[in-house]
Each structure stands twice: as C-alpha cells, then as structure tokens.
Structure 1
Amino acid sequence: MKSQDETLEEWCRLLLRAFKLEDVDVDINEVLSVAGVAAHSVVRPAAPLTTFIAGLAVGLAADSGRAPDAASVQHAMDVARSVAKAYAADEAQSAEGSPAAGSAGSAVPTGTPGE
C-alpha cells in the first residue's frame, strides 16, 4: 500500500501531466502548509479555496510575464498565509469584544504576485 506522501506525489504528477505542465515543480508541502493555515485560521473549506485562488494569482502573474514562476508562487503563498493569519487575528479580537486594531486587509502584503 502506498503512503500518503507517495499518493500525493503520484496525484500531483498525474494532474500536471493532464494539464500539460510536466515541467512545473510543485512544492506539495508548501501548498499543504498554506491550506492548513487557511483551514485553521478561517474555516476548513477555506483551504481548497485559498489554494485555488493562490494558484490563479500565480497563473495570471506568469501569463502576464510579471515574474518568474518560482517568485510568483512564493509571493502567492506568502500573501495567502498572511491574509489567513490576519483574518484569524481580527476574528479573535472581534470575539473578545474589542475593536480590531486593523482589518485583515491592513496586514496583507501589497502588490500582486511577482511585483
């Protein structure tokens, strides 16, 4: 029986091949880490939504030629992680009944992936 890591590696290769992206290097642990932050900072269903939107941002940045793929990916992951953590902090402050020090948007890195 395959391990979870082996299954994810195989699944990733199959998806990349299906999308004709065999030359793309995916850091599965980084994607899962960002998904975990979103799931625990927002709600569980935020994990796939977050990773989809981060991937979309990377694709748009790469398509427009704004940044190399690796830089776009890292920036998108950093932004997604920051937004999720800021959201959790704002929610915690709201739950305590104190006015939030800022909105989730104020702690978000500015710019689009690759800028």
Structure 2
Amino acid sequence: MHVLNEWTALACEELGIDPARVDRDRILDLTKEVAHGVARPAAPLTAYLLGLAQGSGTASEDAVARLITLAKNWECDSGAKLTDD
C-alpha cells in the first residue's frame, strides 16, 4: 500500500485536493464491487461518475453505499452481467 499512499498524495497535490477528504478504502471497495458485479471497465467509470456528482454537489452522503448495493444486486436487477467488451 506504500505505492498507493504515495500515488494518492501526489495525485491529490496535483489536483488541489485535501488528501484527508479521500476515503481511499471506501473507493477501492466500490470499484471492487463494480468490477466483480458489473464489469471491470465499469469500475473506473463509476468512480469518475461519483467524482462528477461529488464535485457538482449532487452526491448524497450515502452515494458510495448506494452504488455498492447497486453493483451487488446488478445481476438480479439486470437479469444478466455485462461483458468487458
């Protein structure tokens, strides 16, 4: 995790983000659930969409939890998994 800590700090500095505002483990949980429950390419896209919502002030406090639940229930909700295509 040392490299991940260094990268997070460097990326935050580059983007002008306070690293204390980044819940790295929660975002990693989100992307893991989306990658496994929906499709691998959906994981970074979901993280980006969450960032857009957060930046525009439209992300609810429970947005990550709601997205994780959505990903865990994807196969049940959609009837099928997306392929990585």
Unaligned segments of structure 2, at least 5 residues: 81-85
Distance 2:50 2:75 in 1: 18
The one-letter code of the counterpart of 2:66 is: V
- Could you tell me which of 6, 9, 12 is aligned with 2:8? 12
Q: Percent identity?
A: 32
Secondary structure (helix, strand or coil) at the match of 2:75 reads helix
Query: Post-superposition shift, 1:82?
Result: 2.2
Match of 1:49 in 2: 45
Tell me: higher relative CO, structure 1 or 2? Use CA pairs within 8 A at least 6 residues apart: 2
Map 1:10-49 onto structure 2 (within 5 A): 10-22=6-18, 24-49=20-45
Match of 1:108 in 2: none
Match of 2:83 in 1: none
TM-score, scaled relative to structure 2:
0.78
Runs of 4+ in 1 over 4 A off after TM superposition: none
Matched, 1:86 2:85: no
Distance 1:6 1:28 in 2: 13
Query: Post-superposition shift, 1:85?
Result: 2.2
The structure that has the greater radius of gyration is 1
Distance 1:78 1:26 in 2: 15
TM-score, scaled relative to structure 1:
0.60
Query: Post-superposition shift, 1:23?
Result: 5.4
Tell me the number of residue pairs that the alignment of Structure 1 and Structure 2 aligns.
80
